[in-house]
């Protein structure tokens, strides 16, 4: 059962019981992603690491490794 099927089933049950309808799937996705991002930034600051640019720096290290002397 996917999220849409579960939503339809929950909507049907809410309608039958006279309860409030559940939120549509995906309604709070952006807020959730922002909260996760903010929590990771906070943890980085508390740990003494840079809070921004970590992904870009990691990709730069991976894509442009320094030439190793033989």
pLDDT tens per residue, range 15-39: 999 999 998 888 899 999 999 999 9
Is the pLDDT reported for residue 67 higher than 70?
Answer: no
Nearest to 52, CA basis, from 63, 37, 62: 37
Whole-angstrom Cα distance, residue 32 to residue 47?
A: 23
Distance CA 17, CA 59 (A): 52
Answer for the pair 36, 15: CB distance below 8 angstroms, yes or no.
Answer: no
Average the pLDDT over 31-49 and give the result.
92
Predicted TM-score (pTM) of this structure: 0.54
Of the candidates 21, 4, 3, the residue with the CA atom closest to the CA atom of residue 12: 21
């Amino acid at each position: 059962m996917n999220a849409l099927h579960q939503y339809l089933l929950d909507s049907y049950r809410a309608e039958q019981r006279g309860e409030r309808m559940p939120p549509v799937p995906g309604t709070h996705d952006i807020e959730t992603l922002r909260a996760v991002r903010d929590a990771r930034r906070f943890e980085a600051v508390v740990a003494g690491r840079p809070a921004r640019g970590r992904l870009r720096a990691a990709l730069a290290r991976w894509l442009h490794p320094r030439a190793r002397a033989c």
